[in-house]
Amino acid sequence: MLGSTLLAVSRNPLARKAVTALPPTRRVVDRFVAGEATADAVAAADRLTRSGLMVTIDHLGEEVRDTDAAVATTKAYVELLGALAPLGLGHRAEVSVKLSAVGQALDDAMALEHAREICEAALSAGATVTLDMEDHTTVDSTLGILRDLRADFSDVGVAVQAYLFRSEADCHDLRDSRVRLVKGAYREPASVAYQKKNDVDLAYVRCLKVLMAGAGHPMVATHDDRLISIAELLADRHDRPRDTYEYQMLYGIRTDKQQALANSGALVRVYVPYGDDWYGYFMRRLAERPANVAFFLRSLGVGTLPLVNKRDSNSSHTGRRTS
């Protein structure tokens, strides 16, 4: 119930104004967002990769409704990739792109053109690109743009949200590709997505089985210890070397687990968001984990005991999921 309420609030302009106006909010946002400027994202990438982690960087923003905003987002990614290039990180750094932020809501051809420009910049920087997945109405469009991009950029990845009924079939189609598997972070109707946590977890495992059996590069996006253990078992079952799959976790969440996995020899990539349009992302992070809500409310001086549900403390990120 709490998660559904927060997902609804994430799209409410009045709630956005109220939350962003609270002085303590910025302190909490800093836990989940690397900063607002390109330099902040590059500094975070440098720090994380020096500690043995990898990064995927998301310039925050979505659902742009005018061409100028789509162009500005595209330029921001090109600038970011240009700034990353001197670090020589190669595939240890990539960018995550929401197609709605580069014009998908206006025209698929526009989104494809802008995504292609970002892929060109990534190629020049030695980096890669993963397309974030958004609500269910955009899935077919996103997969269509992915197919077009892969004609020239074969390593472009995509996120798949396990809670959608269609996702297991999508994983079969994508089993030889780079796929970030997330649980899902948008408020979806019961007609298209599982609603109960246990059903979502089971769907995640089914999708993971498909990807681990394929010839692609599964990107296991979760903070859930149970799912991490299952991923390891499946990798062993299919004789996968540890460099043929990776774990992905959100910036600022379970940093100790991120480092422990990396120290054990696993590939671990941190999803690093930056930019000033952080509200929607921030609210989805609160919706995913009641522990995050508790952290936020404590920062505001509000009691939280009734809100914390320990059973949900290891919920996964999406795609952005989480992207």
Domain residue ranges in the chain? 1-33+277-299, 36-274
DSSP E strand boundaries for the chain = 54-59, 93-97, 128-131, 157-161, 178-182, 217-221, 246-250, 268-274
What pLDDT is attached to residue 303? 46
Q: Is 310 annotated as a binding residue?
A: no
What pLDDT is attached to residue 12? 54
What pLDDT is attached to residue 19? 58
What pLDDT is attached to residue 304? 40
Q: Is 3 annotated as a binding residue?
A: no
Phi, psi (rounded to 5 degrees) for 250 = -80, 145
- The pLDDT profile of the chain, 323 residues, written as one tens digit per residue, is 445 554 554 455 555 555 555 555 566 677 788 988 999 999 999 999 999 999 999 999 877 889 999 999 999 999 999 999 999 999 999 999 999 999 999 999 999 999 999 999 999 999 999 999 999 999 999 999 999 999 999 999 999 999 999 999 999 999 999 999 999 988 899 999 999 999 999 999 999 999 999 999 999 999 999 999 999 999 999 999 999 999 999 998 899 999 999 999 999 999 999 988 877 777 766 666 666 666 555 554 544 433 333 333 333 444 444 43
Q: Is 257 annotated as a binding residue?
A: no
Q: Is 223 annotated as a binding residue?
A: yes
Cα 91 to Cα 55: distance, rounded to the nearest angstrom = 9
Q: Token pair of 231, please?
A: 């991923």
The residues carrying an active-site annotation are 132, 180
What pLDDT is attached to residue 319? 47
What pLDDT is attached to residue 61? 81
CATH ID of 36-274, from 3.40.50.261, 3.40.50.410, 3.20.20.220, 3.40.50.300: 3.20.20.220
Q: Of how many residues is the chain composed? A: 323
pTM score: 0.84
Phi, psi (rounded to 5 degrees) for 129 = -130, 140
| Exposure string for 112-140, b = 16+ CB within 10 A, e = fewer | bebbbbbbebbeebbbbbbbbbbbbebbe
